[in-house]
Chain A
């Protein structure tokens, strides 16, 4: 595709419900990142994949958050037993190389999650 694609674009979940957010990176991109952006804040790093390997998950806020990229392409961010503080925009980004320092990182439009 032309860019990073995320779905759903908007999700309203009841507190306690599980949600899954999907990211289709740019074809052939090795690196994939997930960020969380709360209202009025900048994006905050959640996790990073190089191909199918999750090399850094230091930003995941709790064990309710889980991410995978089993075939090194599409990635899913899963949030179990959602809480109100999980309400945010979840941004996916991809980059062409493993060593991305200085390379452009391309962002998706985000998945807007509201927990009620």
Chain B
């Protein structure tokens, strides 16, 4: 069975402070990991995926297979980063990928 754990429901940081949103997973295979973000009154959207090894809006995430983690990091938080963040793992549904989501972490960036 595949599972994604986000231990923090709420993370509150000051503007300019570093951010780390934790994500751990369990999956018997080679996983694909994603971070999705939902800004207030907007739809869920992809932030980044581990296979791209990219930085989006200053966020990065490294897949650590030894620790089965995919933590999301940003060195300096901005007010506009305040949102709900979901870590997700991709497993197969027929020939397509279905996503298993964590319960989400609300990031609150304050002045």
Residues of A at the B interface (CB closer than 8 Å) are 3-4, 31, 33, 35, 40-45, 48, 50, 55-56, 58-59, 91, 95, 98-105, 107-110
User: When A56-B94, A101-B32 are in contact, do A45 and B100 touch as well, CB less than 8 Å?
Assistant: yes
B86 touches A110 (CB 8 A): no
Q: How many residue pairs, one in A and one in B, have C-beta atoms under 8 Å apart?
A: 74
B90 touches A55 (CB 8 A): no
CA gap between A105 and B99 in the complex, in Å: 10
Total number of B residues with any Cβ neighbor in A under 8 Å? 26
CA gap between A34 and B86 in the complex, in Å: 17
CA gap between A107 and B45 in the complex, in Å: 7
CA gap between A101 and B96 in the complex, in Å: 6
B49 touches A50 (CB 8 A): no
Binds A, one of B14-22, B53-61, B71-79, B101-109: B101-109
Residues of B at the A interface (CB closer than 8 Å) are 4, 6, 9, 32, 43-46, 49, 51, 86, 88, 90, 92-104
30 A/B residue pairs, CB under 8 Å, sorted by A: A3-B43, A4-B43, A31-B96, A33-B96, A35-B99, A40-B103, A42-B6, A42-B101, A44-B101, A48-B93, A48-B94, A50-B94, A50-B96, A55-B93, A55-B94, A55-B95, A56-B94, A99-B95, A100-B96, A101-B90, A101-B92, A101-B97, A102-B32, A102-B49, A102-B51, A102-B90, A102-B97, A103-B97, A105-B99, A107-B43
